[in-house]
Amino acid sequence: MTALETLLSQTPYDDLRVEDVMACAGLTRTAFYRYFPDLESVLLAWLDIIRAELEDAANRWLAPDVDPDGGILAATTGLAQVWSRHGRLLKAILDGATSGSRVQAAWRMTVESFIPPVETRFADLAARGRLAVTHPEETARALVWMCERYLSEVFTHDVNVTVETAAVTLADIWRRVALGPG
């Protein structure tokens, strides 16, 4: 798995072969096939790891006991850090996600898994009279997919944006949409 991540810094995913990954790892093709049926399975294994990191970051705001104002920046910082750390892997996952593969279904499920917790957080904010949106369910969907697309653009296309700038930008948007301009 580490060899795949290493190679992705130099080679697009579509150009990699099992032989390349195993040469980088210093192992044989036979060793690869003991653990994975194909390279797509390696991406899916990485996606499980990245999903857990994204969930940990998002929970800095989504957890019910977190202050809704203060937790937004902590969450967006964590999300930006995950994308920054795993940008090349996430690019490979996104590239794989465009081909109608298992990766596409897994990525879509990963992103959409964040929508219900955001809806729950919005319901909590609405109950406290703090939510400033008309359609909370669709606002949750729009914000989650906006974050995915923005972080993808920033951290998989060599855009010169720091983690801090990306995090503050997203936090400002979330705060203004979810909590109003105050």
What is the pLDDT at residue 99?
A: 64
How large is the average pLDDT for residues 49-53?
97
pLDDT digits (tens, 9 = 90+) for 156-178: 987 889 999 999 999 999 999 88
pLDDT digits (tens, 9 = 90+) for 57-101: 999 999 888 888 889 999 999 999 999 999 999 999 988 766 668
pLDDT of 36 higher than 90? yes
What is the pLDDT at residue 97?
A: 66
Instruction: Give the amino acid at 19.
Output: E
Q: Exposed (0-12), middle (13-18) or buried (19+): which is 11, by Cβ within 10 Å? A: middle
pTM for the whole structure:
0.92
Q: Dihedral of the CA atoms 129, 134, 137, 142 (nearest 10)? A: -120
Please provide the average confidence, as pLDDT, over all residues in the chain: 91
Confidence of residue 128 (pLDDT cuts 50, 70, 90): confident
What is the pLDDT at residue 65?
A: 85
For the chain, count helices (H), then strands (E). Answer: 10, 0
